[in-house]
Amino acid sequence: MELIERNREINDVKMLSPLVWAYIGDSIYEIFIRNYLINNSNAKPHKLHIETVKYVKAKAQVKTLEKIYDMLTDEEKDIVRRGRNVQNHHVPKNVDVAEYSYATAFESLIGYLYLTKNDERLKKILEACIEK
C-alpha cells in the first residue's frame, strides 16, 4: 500500500478537469518545496514559510513554468495548455488573470503527473524547478 493511494486509472485522470489536476498539483508542489527547504536549511518554521512562499506564489510558478517548458514532452505541453485555458472563476486579488492562468497550468502539470503515477518524470521536473 502506498502512503497516499492514487486509485484512478490513467484514462480516468485524463478525463478530470485541469482544475482538479491543479488542485492536487498545488499541494504536491508545496510539499516538495517545503521538503526541499527543510532538507537544505536549518531555518525556523517562520523563515521556512517565507521561503516557501517565494517558490509557490503565482508569479514564481509562472517563471518556473517558463524555465522548464523546453524540457516538456508534447503531451506535457498539451496538459499545460489545457490547464492554462480552463475557465477559473476565482482569481486572487494580488494576481492578474494571465499570471494566474499560467500558474494553474503549472499546477495542472504537476497534478497530472502525480495522479498518473508518473513519479520518475515528476521527480525530474520538480528537480529542474529548483535548479539554479
Indicate which residues carry an active-site annotation.
26
Distance CA 104, CA 94 (A): 15
Classified as helix, coil or strand, 38 is helix
Q: How many CB atoms lie within 10 A of CB 68?
A: 20
Classified as helix, coil or strand, 17 is coil
User: In this structure, are residues 106 and 125 in contact, taking their beta carbons and an 8 Å threshold?
Assistant: no
User: In this structure, are residues 19 and 104 in contact, taking their beta carbons and an 8 Å threshold?
Assistant: yes
Phi, psi of 2 (to 5 degrees): -75, 155
User: In this structure, are residues 126 and 110 in contact, taking their beta carbons and an 8 Å threshold?
Assistant: yes
